[in-house]
Amino acid sequence: MAEVKPHCQEAPELSQAALSELLEQCEDQFALLEKLQNEIILCEPDFCENPQEQSVNRLIATEAELKQWLTVEPTLLSANSEVLLQAGKEEMLKLCSELEMVVSCCETKKAKLRETKELEQKWLEEKKQVLLAACDHVERLQMEKNVLSEHSILQDTKEKLQKMKDYQERLMECLGNILGKHLPLPQNNSISNKKKKNIEQELNADLISLNEILEVLMNKVLMCPHDPYVTIDDTFWPPYVEMLLRYGIAVRHQENNFKIRLETFF
């Protein structure tokens, strides 16, 4: 805002006649004030027996005088146009000076408000940056949490599968030890002389143990559940096959007696 400068300049001094007239009016007014003051002093008693009553009387008199002054029309101090012009110019200069002070105060306040606004905007931008950083951090933590959760579930599943595999291996090892101890492969000296001649060729074949037969049957069920039957060849010792069929561990194919499968256990 541009600085407001008064256009009015100091008026020239009053003429001698106007100045004399103004002085006479001032003396008349001063004499009137002295007269009124003397009348007020003479009307007031020196003391009053009831101070409260005196205060009430003064209040009533003051209110009456106020009402009277409100009804009186104001009159000009002087009818001289030169005096009135001089007084008006002085009042205008005083008003311009006061307005300049108001403008200066407004400019100062405006500058302070502008500085405060800039600081608040800077603070707002910083808070926005902090909020964005916090949101990114929360989103990143959420993603890491989800990844860690999926990773932990996958890791837990792998651990369970590994435990099951280890348990299965221990079971198969125990089964192999039991079968190897109680149901070993047939030997030549364990067969009677009467049957030795008939099965001599069979004993020379590459027979597999009962444990291996069971593994073949189980793997076939797991790998081909739609066709779990295994064809009996020369590596299957017939007594083992007969034992599995008799005790309900394996069953024959309904159309092919040379195929067996592991019984379905529920």
Which has the minimum average pLDDT: 32-41, 188-197, 252-261?
188-197
More confident residue, 106 or 88: 106
Average pLDDT, the chain: 81
Give pLDDT, residue 4. 45
Output the six-digit token pair for 94: 């005083």
pTM of the model as a whole: 0.39
Alpha carbon distance 224, 237 (integer Å): 24
Give pLDDT, residue 14. 66
How many Cα atoms are found within 13 Å in the side-chain-facing hemisphere of 232? 20
Whether 10 is covered by a domain: the verdict is no
Whether 88 is covered by a domain: the verdict is no
pLDDT mean over 14-31: 78
Alpha carbon distance 143, 119 (integer Å): 36
| For the chain, percent of residues with pLDDT exceeding 70 | 82
Residues paired with 251 in a beta bridge: 261
Give pLDDT, residue 100. 94
Which has the minimum average pLDDT: 103-112, 145-154, 182-191, 203-212?
182-191
What are the tens digits of pLDDT across the range 52-70?
Answer: 777 788 888 888 888 887 8
**Using CB atoms within 10 A of its CB, is residue 237 exposed (0-12), middle (13-18) or buried (19+)?**
buried
Whether 227 is covered by a domain: the verdict is yes
What are the tens digits of pLDDT across the range 123-178?
Answer: 999 999 999 999 999 998 888 887 777 778 888 889 999 999 999 889 888 888 88
Q: What is the tally of structural domains in the chain? A: 1
What are the tens digits of pLDDT across the range 195-240?
Answer: 554 554 455 457 888 888 998 999 999 899 899 999 998 889 999 9
Binned at pLDDT 50, 70 and 90, residue 251 comes out as very high
b (16+ CB within 10 A) / e for 203-233 = eeeebbbbbbbbeebeebbeeeeeebbbebe
What does residue 46 show for φ and ψ, rounded to 5 degrees? Answer: -70, -35
Name the residue range of residue 264's domain. 205-266
Whether 26 is covered by a domain: the verdict is no
Binned at pLDDT 50, 70 and 90, residue 3 comes out as very low
Give pLDDT, residue 76. 65
Alpha carbon distance 73, 64 (integer Å): 16
Length of the chain: 266
Whether 87 is covered by a domain: the verdict is no
